[in-house]
Copies of this chain bind each other. A is one copy, B any other.
Amino acid sequence: MLIVMDAHATAADIEAVCAVVRELGYEAHPMPGPTRTAIGITGNRGAIIEAARIRLMPAVRDVIRVTAPYKLVSREFREMNTVIEIGGVTIGGPEVVVMAGPCSVESREQLFATADAVQQAGATILRGGAFKPRTSPYSFQGLGEEGLKILAEARERTGMPVVTEVMDTETVDLVADYADILQIGARNMQNFALLKKVGRTRRPIMLKRGLSATLKDWLMSAEYIMAEGNPAVILCERGIRTFDDHSRFTFDLNAVPVLRELTHLPIIVDPSHATGRWQSVTPMARAGIAAGADGLIVEVHPNPAFAVSDGEQSLLPERFVELVQQVERIAAALDRPIAGRASLAL
């Protein structure tokens, strides 16, 4: 931590700050400059120095935090990539994983048809929403437990592990009984009660980035889960809110290489939600893998015009076939195979 003093700070002001720093168990290193003095602080072993306390002292201009506040999620804590294995599929390893399925589970027929189609096209994990967070209380809210049962049947039918969203603490155990991966949605990224609860399950957690979350906020939410004992966290970039109005959100793909340096956790990207328009899904799926992501999650629906939710961003199964073929070529250009597919011979 670095404390910057005002230009007119007196020797007494500076000494007062140093005294507080030492009282808190740290060392203070005053560095007088031509216009102002800065004070370096070292020795942060555990206790978090209260920046506020110092910032409010006389003649203190700024307090600059240097150390990242997260630990377990950081690349410094663990140098090797975390690789998560679920039902024979690995996430975070050399293979690129493709998760796909409908936004909402609507019926057995709809889910089975979609599951078969995405599996045939190359997906190895099935997505589908049973509990749906909707902006409006009057919109379809999902089939609930009935939807979970249909997902479990689809897993038995296809062998694909299932990822589905859990929206509240009360249903965590229920969802964990049926699903292989629990998804925390963007709007719940800082629902700390929920993060703690899923941190105590034994399921991998796919943590979507909040609409206005910095990478630090996001990693701190992952830290909540890991701090409860669950090491299997998957990060999913799904677009942020900006002034831009050409699509639903702004897809922040540069988060991928930056996260790669900061954390050892796997990184998935969601071009369906990030763009909100099916025409962008395939190009941005290619871009996401080219940026270095470990996988994709994509919405596919056999009849998007009749989807109960998110129809505008859902791909038809035949367009999803093209997506996988194109993404496979991009992945091959990075020497990465698509999980579950024979290597593309180049």
The residues of A with any CB-CB pair to B shorter than 8 Å are 2, 4, 7, 29, 31-36, 38, 40, 42-45, 48, 50-57, 62, 64, 66-67, 69-70, 76, 133-139, 167-170, 187-188, 190-194, 196, 210-212, 214-215, 217, 220, 223-224, 227, 240-247, 250-258, 261, 274-275, 277-280, 283-284, 286-292, 304-307, 310-312, 326, 329-330, 332-334, 346
Q: Are B243 and A257 in contact (CB under 8 A)?
A: no
Output the residue of A29, A52, A217, A307 with the most chain B CB within 10 A: A52
Q: Are B275 and A254 in contact (CB under 8 A)?
A: yes
Number of copies: 4
Q: Are B256 and A283 in contact (CB under 8 A)?
A: yes
Query: Smallest distance from the beta carbon of A226 to chain B beta carbons, Å?
Result: 9
Contact of A257 among B223, B283, B332 (CB under 8 A): B283
Q: Are B246 and A56 in contact (CB under 8 A)?
A: no
Q: Are B279 and A290 in contact (CB under 8 A)?
A: no
A329→B287 CA distance, assembly (Å)? 13
Query: Smallest distance from the beta carbon of A36 to chain B beta carbons, Å?
Result: 8
Interfacial chain B residues near A192, Cβ < 8 Å: 133-134, 137, 167, 187
Contact of A57 among B52, B290, B305 (CB under 8 A): B305
Q: Are A135 and B250 in contact (CB under 8 A)?
A: no
Interfacial chain B residues near A38, Cβ < 8 Å: 2, 40, 42, 66
A249→B315 CA distance, assembly (Å)? 30
Contact of A64 among B64, B135, B284 (CB under 8 A): B64
Q: Are A42 and B32 in contact (CB under 8 A)?
A: yes
A257→B275 CA distance, assembly (Å)? 10
Q: Are B52 and A62 in contact (CB under 8 A)?
A: no
Output the residue of A193, A250, A254, A278 with the most chain B CB within 10 A: A254
Interfacial chain B residues near A287, Cβ < 8 Å: 253, 287-288, 290-291
Interfacial chain B residues near A255, Cβ < 8 Å: 246
Contact of A333 among B62, B307, B332 (CB under 8 A): B332
Interfacial chain B residues near A76, Cβ < 8 Å: 7
Contact of A292 among B35, B283, B292 (CB under 8 A): B283
Interfacial chain B residues near A191, Cβ < 8 Å: 168, 187-188, 191
Interfacial chain B residues near A274, Cβ < 8 Å: 254
A236→B141 CA distance, assembly (Å)? 27
Q: Are A245 and B214 in contact (CB under 8 A)?
A: yes
When C-beta atoms are compared, the residue in chain B nearest to A225 turns out to be B137
Q: Are B291 and A137 in contact (CB under 8 A)?
A: no
Interfacial chain B residues near A220, Cβ < 8 Å: 135-137
Q: Are B240 and A250 in contact (CB under 8 A)?
A: yes
A237→B54 CA distance, assembly (Å)? 29
Interfacial chain B residues near A31, Cβ < 8 Å: 29, 40, 42
Q: Are B133 and A190 in contact (CB under 8 A)?
A: yes
Interfacial chain B residues near A241, Cβ < 8 Å: 212, 241, 243
When C-beta atoms are compared, the residue in chain B nearest to A333 turns out to be B329
Given contacts A134-B192, A284-B291, whether A242 and B246 have CB atoms under 8 Å apart is no
A170→B192 CA distance, assembly (Å)? 13
Query: Smallest distance from the beta carbon of A56 to chain B beta carbons, Å?
Result: 4
Q: Are B136 and A307 in contact (CB under 8 A)?
A: no
Query: Smallest distance from the beta carbon of A205 to chain B beta carbons, Å?
Result: 14
Interfacial chain B residues near A333, Cβ < 8 Å: 286, 326, 329-330, 332-333
